[in-house]
Chain A
Amino acid sequence: MEQYLLVICIFLPLLGAFLLPAVGKRKAKLRNQMALFLVAATFLCSTFLLPALHSGSPLFLHFELPLGLSFGFYADALAVFMALAASLVATVIVLYSFGYIKEEADQNEYYMMVCLFIGAMMGLVFSTNLIFIYMFWEISAICCWRLIGFYREATTIRRANKAFIITVAGALVMLLGFIGLYGETGTFDLAAMKGIAIPSWVVVLVLFGILSKSATFPLHSWLPDAGVAPTPVSSLLHAAVLVKIGVYVYMRMFVATLQIDEVFTVAVPALAAVSALVSAGAALRANDLKRVVAYSTISQLAFILLGLASGNEIGVVGGMLYILMHSVAKGGLFLCLGIVEHNVGTKDLTKMGGLYRTMPLTAIAFLFCAFSIMGIPPFGGFFAKYLVIAGIVAEGKVLLASFFIIGAVLTVLYLTRLFVKVFLGEATFPQVKEGTPLMVGSALFLAVLSAVLGIGIRVPSGLAALIGRGM
């Protein structure tokens, strides 16, 4: 009878989102609290899924439909892990939004879309049917479109449309792959497909969707452009929900359920290597705060993809940990940049400097998150990066590993450059103040969490190992 937890997890944010505009018309404050409640409750419910998982009988719901459309929700280790990571970071982001977004118009739509986004993510990770995964995938694209275009200027609308078109085009190719898969197997139900070997052309079609959503070269160009969104939205896109959807589906389909050709254990990491290096180079050259971090996301996603595609348990566990660590650290990094950009009024790196004097806490939070992304021990990112590289080395692909080590070095370089340019040097904006306590607190929370997750790596790695064993 605990299945209701699973239903709450998905439908509380999904349906609750539609109440927010109605509430917000009368009481803005109540709407904010409700939004926070919806997201936080989602996180709590996800943690309640853990006991059943550890006792070895994950919660499960199933509905029979014709045409191979039977669907269900399944709270296995992979799904719960993703749900926890996404809802935790999303909760902090909603809290932070209270400060960041308070002067803007369209706040009703903002909170509605954020909650809907989380709901879509929950639905996606728990769904067992490809068509329903596709459905939640597209709901997230709709939210993304509205949120990137939040400021309603000509450029933002153009960028929002670009993000929508690229991700939807990718998703349509992926859907074609799903239909191809249906032609081969007669079902869309993942539970019924376990262990089936699938033709490579299906994998390639599905990869289009995954790469477009997870902003991997050559379908990455929408993500840096999406930086025109409000910064909490960027944080949401980069850290909590959107880009992780692609890698999740890779994991769910090609690692946890289906068998794919050996060639993809080389082809996908190779593509990831190109993506990692190209975007790291771009991050070194970019002069827009958010572009640097966006390119960094593209580069880090390549590491995740490398881990998941390595075909090796160490790599997969590393990839999963990477998803969590990157979510927390990149979420925190964006929140710091949001404070900087909100208070300074520009996103141009070259005009900034010396902000550590006026924003010491933000600077510290930034540094912690950056350390985690660079992979410096004892921060969480170190363990993830180590395992991913160890995984690929264990497969004997040393050349690929060396490309990624170069990528890791570049990560250190561009993040250091960012920190130096923004926080060190001569103070160009001496009058700028630190952000509101709530905003700085949210950023610090994620920064400290990056360290705590590293020091207490046993907890997340236990769950990640469970995923690895379930393969």
Chain B
Amino acid sequence: MPILDYITVSFLVIPLIILVLNNLFSKQFVERINFKLVGVVAILQMALAVAGFSLLSAAHWEDYRFSLLWDWTMEEAGYFAVNSLSLVFLFCIGFVLLVAVLVAKATVEQRKTAFVNLVLTLLLGMNGMVMVRDLFSLYVFLEIVGISSFVLVALFQLETGLEGAFKYLVMSSLATVFILTGLAFVFMQTGSLQYAQAWADWLSVQGTAQLYTYLAFILLISGFALKTGVVPFHSWLPDAHQSANTAVSILLSGIVIKVAGIYGFIVLTKLFPGFPPVALALRILGLLSIVVGALFALRQTHFKRLVAYSSVSQMGYILLGLSSGTTLGFLGAMVHIFNHATFKSTLFTNAAALSAQAGTLELGELGGLEKKMPVTGFSSITAFLSTAGIPPLAGFWSKLLIIMALWKSEAEGFAAVALLASILTAAYFLRLQKKVFFGQLPEKFGAVTEIGGSVKFAELMLSAVNIAVGVGFPLILLFFEGRGLL
């Protein structure tokens, strides 16, 4: 089906073309249109992902393979492929990119060309990661993602200066070392890094080389855990998020940690099928993240730092969903990835609005702003309720699916703790609401007004998505059922 060829190739080619265009013309000209171009790329990516998804399911194909300039049907040749999973990720990438660019319009004032270059590189890296079908290419694209992210963090030298970016760089290289060494062990065992090949071979060698299995497993899981920022590998994440420009925080928290980290975990669970420590490790990491992340969030005094710790906590739910090893849990994790992209982007968008209008993100200095900034206040409440898993917002359903899946796979204890930990989420967000929006307005904020333009639009759009997914979730369930997933 040639149309699928065009669609799939464009996920890689479009960012490249725009990247070239962005540097081809004079800066004055480029900086007038390049944000709009990225916005168009984001919307296009979402549309293409939806189109690809429909075509793929209409044809009842498992996946669709393609390459750029070489013949992938040759023996031992690498290739790209899309399946429903990668298309869902591609859609989320486009979605978060759109929000980030809307916010960047307000927050990025200098170095626009550099920013766009880096964002497009990041996009290329993430798109590549979810479409490759061998571990080494995965690693290459992971590096592209890593490098463009920490340069993005460092680009504007905000607040804590370069510390956050430096920490991120160090941790990221550590992760790289782990992952690369882990891959070496896999290669030693199986002689191939193609997913399909490695998965098949792994099964046959299991048991004969327990030591290598364990080594590869530990290294890979630590590497991806570092990239995701789950406890106890989380120390870089709040610093990086806080010191980055808010548009960058949206990208990092909304999608980068999921593509670079969670997607890695997904590959990992397939690489070690039926290896009992996988589920256990995911469960322990997940639960630790949920509880510890939330406890840290309770004590933060900076808006973005609190939200960053909340991301740590939410990643835990996604890992728990993956750990169940069932379709239900996997679906829950996928929906939670999308929902988390929505509500976490909302919160960072709120942060952009607050720092632009009120001039600070220190919780102690803010207060009572919902009267002056009703849209920001309202959208932050939708995000709060969704994160805490309170119906009828979207986050409730994904958590419910994850917890039901855990319960069904006889991890009742994990399910119970994960569910009850929602109260911690509610607690730190109530505290945030009290300090920022709910309450009396301090005099110094008498002249504050609501933010306008693209940021306000992003807030409204994200709240609408959040509510619509929550209220319309029965339809999504019917869709899953129709595809035979439930």
Contact = CB atoms under 8 A, between A and B. Distances in A.
Interface of A: 63, 65-67, 69, 71, 105, 131, 134-135, 138-139, 141-142, 149, 152-154, 157-158, 160-161, 164-165, 168-169, 172-173, 175-176, 179-180, 182-183
Given A63-B474, A131-B400, A152-B368, A182 B420 contact: no
Contact of B403 (A67, A105, A179): A179
Interface string B334-366: 000000000000000000000000000000000
A154 B434 CA distance: 9
A157 B367 CA distance: 12
Contact of A179 (B328, B415, B478, B481): B415
Contacts of B404: 67, 179, 182
Contacts of B423: 165, 168-169, 172
6 residue pairs, one from A and one from B, having the closest CB atoms: A135-B391, A66-B486, A66-B481, A161-B430, A169-B423, A138-B390
14 contacts: A65-B481, A66-B486, A67-B477, A134-B391, A138-B392, A149-B438, A153-B439, A153-B440, A157-B434, A164-B426, A165-B423, A165-B427, A172-B423, A173-B420
Interface in B373-430: 385, 388, 390-392, 396, 400, 403-404, 407-408, 412, 415-416, 419-420, 422-423, 426-427, 430
B426 A168 contact: yes
Contacts of B328: 67
Nearest to A182: B404
B72 interface: no
A180 B419 CA distance: 12
B214 interface: no
B369 to A, nearest CB: 12
Contact of B430 (A63, A134, A139, A165): A165
Contacts of A153: 439-440
A153 B427 CA distance: 19
By secondary structure, the A interface counts as helix
A158 B477 CA distance: 38
Given A165-B430, A172-B420, A179-B404, A69 B439 contact: no
B426 A165 contact: yes
A469 to B, nearest CB: 33
B438 A172 contact: no
B390 A69 contact: no
Contacts of A142: 385, 390
Contacts of A172: 419-420, 422-423
A193 B390 CA distance: 25
B480 interface: yes
A172 B431 CA distance: 19
A191 B392 CA distance: 22
A182 B368 contact: no
A182 B400 CA distance: 12
Given A152-B438, A154-B439, A165-B423, A66 B407 contact: no
Given A154-B440, A168-B423, A172-B423, A139 B416 contact: no
Nearest to B388: A168
A47 B346 CA distance: 43
Contacts of A165: 423, 426-427, 430
B434 A161 contact: yes
Given A142-B385, A175-B419, A183-B408, 13 more contacts: A66-B480, A69-B474, A131-B391, A135-B392, A138-B391, A158-B434, A160-B438, A161-B431, A164-B430, A172-B423, A179-B407, A180-B412, A183-B407
Contacts of B481: 65-66
Interface of B: 328, 368, 371, 385, 388, 390-392, 396, 400, 403-404, 407-408, 412, 415-416, 419-420, 422-423, 426-427, 430-431, 434, 438-440, 474, 477-478, 480-481, 486
Given A154-B439, A164-B426, A169-B423, A182 B390 contact: no
Contacts of B422: 172
A271 B117 CA distance: 66
B438 to A, nearest CB: 5
Contacts of A134: 391
B418 to A, nearest CB: 10
Contacts of B426: 164-165, 168
A415 to B, nearest CB: 35
Contacts of B388: 168
Given A69-B477, A168-B426, A175-B419, A139 B392 contact: yes
A157 B390 CA distance: 20
A427 to B, nearest CB: 35
Given A134-B391, A182-B404, A182-B407, A176 B440 contact: no
Given A139-B391, A182-B404, A65 B474 contact: yes
A64 B299 CA distance: 44
B440 A179 contact: no
Nearest to B478: A65
Contacts of B391: 131, 134-135, 138-139
A440 B410 CA distance: 59
Contacts of A138: 390-392, 396
Contacts of B415: 176, 179
Nearest to A186: B408
Contacts of A139: 391-392
Contacts of A71: 474
Contacts of B407: 179-180, 182-183
A216 to B, nearest CB: 19
A153 B407 CA distance: 42
Nearest to B434: A157
A219 to B, nearest CB: 13
Contacts of A65: 474, 477-478, 481
A105 B368 CA distance: 13
Given A139-B392, A165-B426, A176-B416, A152 B439 contact: yes
Contacts of A157: 434, 438-439
Nearest to B430: A161
B298 to A, nearest CB: 12
Contacts of B385: 142
Nearest to B440: A152
Contacts of A175: 419
Nearest to B392: A135
A201 B371 CA distance: 45
A154 B392 CA distance: 28
A39 B130 CA distance: 52
Nearest to A158: B434
A160 B437 CA distance: 14
Contacts of A182: 404, 407
A142 B426 CA distance: 11
Contacts of A176: 415-416, 419-420
B79 to A, nearest CB: 35
B291 to A, nearest CB: 14
A154 B368 CA distance: 10
A169 B431 CA distance: 16
Contacts of A160: 438
B382 to A, nearest CB: 10
Contacts of B400: 131
Nearest to B328: A67
Contacts of A152: 368, 438-440
A165 B425 CA distance: 10
Contacts of B403: 179
A372 to B, nearest CB: 36
A395 B186 CA distance: 71
A113 to B, nearest CB: 12
A179 B418 CA distance: 13
A154 B440 CA distance: 8
A58 B477 CA distance: 28
Contacts of A67: 328, 404, 477, 486
Contacts of B480: 66
Contacts of A135: 391-392, 396
